[in-house]
Amino acid sequence: MKQTIEDIRGLLKSGAFTDEQHVRFSLVGRLCQALGWNIWNPAEFYTEFQVKKLPLKDLSKDVRGWVDVALFIPQATPEGAEVFIEVKTPGKLDSDLAAGEMQLHLYNAYHKSAISVLTDGIQWRFYLPSAGGEFEDKLFNHIDILKDDPDDIAQTFLAILHRDNFRPKALQTAEEMRRELAKIKLINCVKEEALAMHEKTDIPLFLIAKQLLQKNHKTKLEQDEIERLWNKKHSGIRPKKKGDTPESIPIQTLDESSVYTEVLKDYRFLKPRFIILPQLGKIEISNWRDLKREVYNWLLKIKPDLVLTGIRKFSKDKGDFVKPISLIDGYFGEGNLNATNIVKHSRKAMAAAGFDPLKDLIIGYSYTSKRRKQ
């Protein structure tokens, strides 16, 4: 599945899909086949499926009464379609979102599917029609084939749309994802305030978020769940298990020629190789002080009014620091820090400037013999 995703990503980047028909067959059809559906059987992979009993008054330029793709398991599902998939031209989903949701809303009013999907081949929005509220409230997942991790994309498709999961398992998965997405949205509502309070007080970030959620949104979430969901924008993607990180790779596979970019909690005794910053791209570095210098110089250029406090601050007074790092425009920063704290301070500085501290700062590093012996 992952290989299929990566190949489709390459075709999308090359501009191979130019209209809805390309997306419907060469992209959606290919994915459905990889997910176990028989795309050669019209009773199962039904293109231009007519929704019966749809009143004429509801028909319009946007609402034609025909679903681009409807997936069925005729021998197992007397309730009707398992999946409705409404297709748009690549890159047009944002502008066609309201019309696409209206289509799916009306189609499900007269012929309810278990799962509904709105896609332009790049963005995929998944809805649970049986859920309450407005149609946009039925959204339970949203992925971007060009931007998201291929492993996560493959896992999401397998969990939501694999034929073997229909119908009970798919519905259960969708409802679990919808509940998790609601939590992610609430966490995002308090994230900025929690980061600001954490910056001023050094009270644990997720404790602050927990208290804000309870106070402002009457929602009780434990700190470990808040931490798990903090940087997620999708629901249903399982966190990496212990054993997926470089720290648990067998020692003999770790050498200085191998470079890793997974996020760690401890960067001590690792050799930094490069960082990647928005707009700047890849920057080679040889030590951890270089990492802080590059991050702070970048922030000083794009956010000249940024104010940082405490040990993370920058100042033109060299005497403010125990081991000063020279920055641009006559500024200095604290360099008397170990690798882990340099990364921590750099990420907090980026968060204060409005960036995602994990996704917008990618760190390439290799293991050393000292780290391997631990």
123 shares its domain with 224: no
pLDDT for 330 equals 94
Give the residue from 145, 166, 187 where a domain finishes: 166
The answer as to whether 243 is a domain residue is: no
Overall average pLDDT of the 331-356 stretch: 92
218 shares its domain with 355: no
The answer as to whether 203 is a domain residue is: yes
Using the predicted structure, report yes or no on whether residue 250 has a pLDDT greater than 50: no
Tens digit of pLDDT for each residue in 194-212? 888 887 877 888 999 999 9
Q: Report the C-alpha gap between 247 and 282 in whole angstroms.
A: 24
334 shares its domain with 256: yes
205 shares its domain with 266: no
Residue 261 binned pLDDT confidence (cut-offs 50, 70, 90): confident
Overall average pLDDT of the 283-304 stretch: 93
Sign of CA dihedral 332, 338, 339, 341: negative
The tokens describing 12, both together, are 């999308």
157 shares its domain with 212: no
Those residues with Cβ within 8 angstroms of residue 204's Cβ, 6 or more apart along the chain or in another chain: 198, 223
215 shares its domain with 342: no
Please state, rounded to an integer, the average pLDDT across all residues of the chain. 85
Tens digit of pLDDT for each residue in 39-53? 999 999 999 988 877
pLDDT for 60 equals 59
Entry pTM: 0.60
Chain Cα centroid distance, residue 131: 23
Give the residue from 144, 166, 188 where a domain finishes: 166
208 shares its domain with 319: no
Domain that holds residue 199: 175-229
């997620």: which residue's tokens? 232
Residue 365: closest CA among 235, 277, 243, 275: 275
87 shares its domain with 148: yes
157 shares its domain with 186: no
62 shares its domain with 160: yes
Number of domains in the chain: 3
Using the predicted structure, report yes or no on whether residue 242 has a pLDDT greater than 80: no
Tens digit of pLDDT for each residue in 126-149? 999 988 778 888 999 999 999 888
